[in-house]
Amino acid sequence: GESVGLHLPTLSVQEGDNSIINCAYSNSASDYFIWYKQESGKGPQFIIDIRSNMDKRQGQRVTVLLNKTVKHLSLQIAATQPGDSAVYFCAKREQSGGGADGLTFGKGTHLIIQP
Amino acid sequence: DAGVIQSPRHEVTEMGQEVTLRCKPISGHNSLFWYRQTMMRGLELLIYFNNNVPIDDSGMPEDRFSAKMPNASFSTLKIQPSEPRDSAVYFCASSWDSRYEQYFGPGTRLTVT
């Protein structure tokens, strides 16, 4: 079946450094990708999204890169802060003729910020 | 904006009992999603509604699970009878259009003993 997979379950970075979280997907029909952040005891929180007609999108301290050729998605967080410690999920939605579609989530990467 | 509201936040019940989880989506959103999260399987979509109509329930694990959305501001996920393997965190999410991101509630942590 279709899946969204993450390369590393845990990523540890020094406070102030940049971090990159990677994600691979298997279905080229996916038209929409999202990154979520989940802190302990809370629901996933939307960070940034990107559509398949784009290669890059930037937000505040975050950048998402989409490489459709190799079916790879990445989230870059600049100047990481202690509050960035969380589990990060990539998610994708399949292209459909209309209506809302549920998301398929990766397993998650635990980002740990070292002081 | 109050965000997506879920109740209860925690539920502990005995095997065989009926469990009902509740969700109030963000006002104005026309799509509602139920997800389940476990350590083993991660986040899984169970069912979603568009304009109160169930669109895809292929993720519902068994007939013991059922979901309803009687109006635009309320949805329930019911498990009857519950089993220990149903223990998980259940999230409700809503979005106002299929082209936009989904907003998640705080989740209901269900423990079936």
The per-residue pLDDT for range A44-99, each reduced to its tens digit, is 999 999 998 999 999 999 999 999 999 999 999 999 999 999 999 999 887 554 44
- Window B:65-94, CB contacts with A under 8 Å: 91, 93
> With DSSP H G I counted as helix, E B as strand and the rest as coil, what are the percentages for chain B, rounded to 5?
5, 55, 40
Alpha-carbon separation of residue A36 from A40, A87, B43 (angstroms): 13, 8, 12
Rounded Cα distance between B75 and B14, Å, is 23
With an 8 Å Cβ cutoff, the interface of chain A facing chain B consists of: 32, 34, 36, 42-46, 49, 89, 91, 96, 98-108
**Local confidence pLDDT in tens for the 113 residues of chain B:** 689 999 999 999 999 999 999 999 999 999 999 999 998 888 999 999 999 999 888 889 889 999 999 999 999 999 999 999 999 999 999 998 766 789 999 999 999 99
Rounded Cα distance between A61 and B80, Å, is 45
Cβ–Cβ contact B43 with A under 8 A:
yes
